[in-house]
Chain A
């Protein structure tokens, strides 16, 4: 069962995916640009707080590889929320990152 620290890092990775979508909206939007920017920055700050809290108990040799899931989260968020269409190479990259992060989590 993954520790609370791992869950914090995982949650942070998910938040980063959503944060990047907010920043993308901020860059592309005609209206409510500041709202999207504020949302993105707030999510990043929450991610930083979660990651720092996780580092209190989790070795960085575990936390940092698990945080790579943010790459996967960004691709997934872009696919689900922005309608982007990653090619097969990116999807394979996502799979490898998920496998790599899973390997880093202690049994």
Chain B
């Protein structure tokens, strides 16, 4: 009889493909965030939402950002099919490192030491917040069946 919950408990050991998917998720998110910054700085100074939406639609940065964040979503769904959420979710916080690096390399932003400290604290905090309770191993589950009674 197939285990109905087996789809929710994918293999625990990460494969190279899974690492690639996670790296892609982090990269897509990081680049998407930087394009969001480029979009924001290119928008005109206006409080008219229709004007802003129209301007955004004409900017290449908007489409790059949208495409990358969609890629991130698709990669994330693929990762979740092959990984436990409590393993994968904390690793996505590496996008804070990715955004920091890209802001320095691509946008020329200056990274202060306090920014690096900030990223470290947030990484640790997100990992603690994101971790769920570990799932029970099948060998230790339902110990009451060991007695052999029906």
Contact = CB atoms under 8 A, between A and B. Distances in A.
State whether these chains interact. yes
Contacts of A95: 125
Contacts of B122: 65, 68, 96-97, 100-101
A38 to B, nearest CB: 18
A55 B41 contact: yes
Contact of B99 (A56, A60, A106): A60
B118 A96 contact: no
A3 B126 CA distance: 25
Contacts of A71: 125-126, 129-130
Nearest to B98: A64
A54 B40 CA distance: 8
A75 B109 CA distance: 31
B125 A60 contact: no
Interface residues of B, number: 35
- Interface of A (DSSP majority class): helix
A91 B115 CA distance: 22
B107 A60 contact: yes
A44 to B, nearest CB: 13
B37 A99 contact: no
B29 to A, nearest CB: 10
A97 B36 contact: no
